[in-house]
Structure 1
Amino acid sequence: MCSDRRVPARSSAPASPSQSSAEPTLAELGEDGVLARILARIPSAGAGAEGVPGAGAAVEVGPGDDAAVTALPGRLVSSADMLVEGEDFLRGWLDPRRLGVKAGAQNLADICAMGAVPTGLLLSLAAPGDTPAAVLEGIVEGLVEEAGRAGAAVLGGDLSGAGQLVVAVTSLGGLDPRLPALTRDAARPGDVLWLGGRTGWAAAGLDLLLASGAALPCTPECAACCAEAVEAQRAPRPDYPAVDRLREALGHAREGAGHGRRAALIDLSDGLHSDAGRIARASGAVLDLDGEALRALAGPLVPVAAHVLAVRGDIPATDPAALALHWVLTGGEDHGFLAAAPPEAVPVGWARIGRVLPGEPEVRVDGAPAVHGTGGFRHFRAPEDGEDVTGAPGPRRRDRA
């Protein structure tokens, strides 16, 4: 390491109520002091490969030098993403460790969505000089934690000053030379649509935070599921091994099927409808989602929806089941995985949620075009007719290329 839907308001709130004014700031410590504290939180920083986690990469030189040195298995797979204060999060909602977990999850999921093994993360941080050093330390701790859960290592990065907190991560992975990448253009008519992990929970958590002003006054009846939804928004935990199980299913189904371990795969960062549309357009096919399967996914979210609507004062104008289904269709940031695979491949632990049909590329539900307004978040997008993008401050949903 060297030198959602509404536009959020800027916030100068501390990242965690646990921080106090006695905590030194970045300006008080200086660059070298900040780096020393950060490096102390990365396993084996400055001490070579010993102790550095990583399922596929051998880390020869870790953080602390001009660059990291790793032995990468197979072909290089890389991606990058960032979280910008005021655009993607408010520090009053995300404590530093959870922000690090979130940054790691959204990047590691992209590597897994190509069918690759995550090996390393590079972290670039920019922050105002009056930011408590504990904020950056917490971000690093969360990133290291989530990287380790995926079998990867934090390899280094960069540090800079800025007018707002920015967390930018570059993710690296290795793809077995014997296996094809799992790309968006590989869906074929006759394929089955599978969901690995879940969708809708992070969107529910975001709406709950927006409706309650982060106070979370949940009733005892929905306290557990409300807390689970908020945690999914703050610190999503993708099911990385789900992709391994998909690979295993493709391998078992390969003999006699002639599909060559082919499957389309995408990280659901922007919502099921939006990301299904990306597969549909890339593959030139129709993705027909099963309404009954979607309602089953939405069922556990209905109590959360009822609470959100009660806080908003929207009951009985809006049906809680309809809002829960909307979250399932449009909610990103859980970082579940959508796959289109040959019918012979049945991945363990994945939910069957539809099929691929011939036709002009589009997303359908039970054979009918999906309703207007289920496209997921886009940066720089103009509001749709009747859509409210003002209102309470809060982070908007993510968009990825």
Structure 2
Amino acid sequence: MEHTWRCDIRVTDLGEFGIIARIVGRLPQSPAVLLGPGDDAAVLIAPDGRVVVTTDLLLEGRHFRRDWSSAQDIGRKAAAQNLSDVVAMGADPTALFVGLGLPGDLPAAWLDGLTDGFREECALVGASVAGGDVVRSELVVLGVTALGDLGGRAPVTRSGARPGQVLAVAGRLGHAAAGLALYQAGNDDPAFAALAGAHRRPLPPYACGPAAAALGATAMLDVSDGLLQDLGHVARASGVLIDLDPAALEVPETLAAAGAALGVDPLRWMLTGGEDHALAAVFPAEVTLPSEWRPIGRVLEGEGVQVTGYEGLPAGWDHFRE
């Protein structure tokens, strides 16, 4: 996919403060922000007295490609993966802070699209971009920090799973991995457009995080690096064995079709693919789960993660694994 911008203004023509002014002009502030961009630091309301904080770094060529994703897609994806981490703690997102590294020849209109993507994703959860920084760099670099408020709830960590409890997921699994595989294979079949879109722009089930905390979830995380790998974090932190039932992972029709087209078992995408930003949580067995949560396994005595019939699969994404 190629994106052509008709405006000839580049970010280098704007200068640092012109870039900042252009970004800020497109970003409304939520009620949680008492003092937004324009000072040495922002000031936010923290009603709970505790602040949930997470941060992520995205590099052009490793986390996104400008020939595959629009600026708006990239902004939404960068915001989504941080906002998802906040809700995975059972918190409500309040604000993002964004550090930008930008090539000087980048079209100013591309910057507008990126800013709009951040704004639109934040609007889904009532948060806002409350500040950041900008520097010149050879590639587009995004450093994002997200803040959240627990609303009086205890944070839902990875260490609370106990034997006898139920594992469930909310959101999509395997779609982003399938979309990436289609891009890498050069397969642009319109029938798979939704999967390609899932790679460019995730759809985290934001409301399910705080709702799971209210339901009594004892452990929860954002599925960003693959279900098996991320559940391994829960198993280690909790000192338990997680028994995952592959039969409970219903393969959507479009995922099955893409698997057939590429010669891939689609369940592998669902087990090891990252960047869908689904939520995985552990609940007491007596909790009645709403329809957004799908039971997919159980917690047992032992250690690690087991999936009958899929032993030996690579766990998921690791930045330093070849």
Bucket of the pairwise TM-score, normalised by the shorter protein: over 0.9
1:217 aligned partner: 189
- TM-score, normalized by length of structure 2? 0.95
1:18 aligned partner: 4
Instruction: Give secondary structure in 2 for the equivalent of 1:185.
Output: coil
2:175 aligned partner: 201
- TM alignment of 1:107-186, pairs within 5 A: 107-177=82-152, 179-186=153-160
Please identify runs of 4+ aligned residues in structure 1 that moved more than 3 A. 297-300
Structure 2: distance between partners of 1:102 and 1:346: 32
Structure 2: distance between partners of 1:153 and 1:26: 23
Letter in 2 for 1:353: I
- In the alignment, is the contact (CA less than 8 A) between 1:119 and 1:174 conserved in 2? yes
- In the alignment, is the contact (CA less than 8 A) between 1:264 and 1:339 conserved in 2? yes
C-alpha displacement at 1:154, in angstroms? 0.9
- In the alignment, is the contact (CA less than 8 A) between 1:184 and 1:266 conserved in 2? yes
- In the alignment, is the contact (CA less than 8 A) between 1:16 and 1:96 conserved in 2? no
Instruction: Give secondary structure in 1 for the equivalent of 2:159.
Output: helix
- In the alignment, is the contact (CA less than 8 A) between 1:245 and 1:347 conserved in 2? no
1:363 aligned partner: 305
C-alpha displacement at 1:38, in angstroms? 1.1
Structure 1: distance between partners of 2:286 and 2:111: 47
Deviation track 1:96-117 (CA, whole Å, cap 9, x = no partner) reads 0010000000000001111111
1:302 aligned partner: 256
C-alpha displacement at 1:299, in angstroms? 4.7
The question of 1:32 aligning with 2:9 is answered: no
C-alpha displacement at 1:131, in angstroms? 1.0
Instruction: List runs of 5+ in structure 2 lacking aligned partners.
Output: none
1:284 aligned partner: 239
Deviation track 1:141-164 (CA, whole Å, cap 9, x = no partner) reads 101110110121110100001111
- TM-score, normalized by length of structure 1? 0.77
Deviation track 1:82-132 (CA, whole Å, cap 9, x = no partner) reads 110111111111100010000000000001111111000001100111111
Letter in 2 for 1:81: D
1:344 aligned partner: 286
- In the alignment, is the contact (CA less than 8 A) between 1:123 and 1:156 conserved in 2? yes
- In the alignment, is the contact (CA less than 8 A) between 2:168 and 2:296 conserved in 1? yes
The number of aligned residues is 320
Give the root-mean-square deviation of aligned CA atoms: 1.7
Structure 2: distance between partners of 1:114 and 1:245: 11
Letter in 2 for 1:275: D
Letter in 1 for 2:47: P
Instruction: Give secondary structure in 1 for the equivalent of 2:96.
Output: strand
- In the alignment, is the contact (CA less than 8 A) between 1:116 and 1:174 conserved in 2? yes
Letter in 2 for 1:208: L
1:247 aligned partner: 213
The question of 1:96 aligning with 2:71 is answered: yes
C-alpha displacement at 1:243, in angstroms? 1.6
Deviation track 1:326-353 (CA, whole Å, cap 9, x = no partner) reads 0000111010001011111233110010
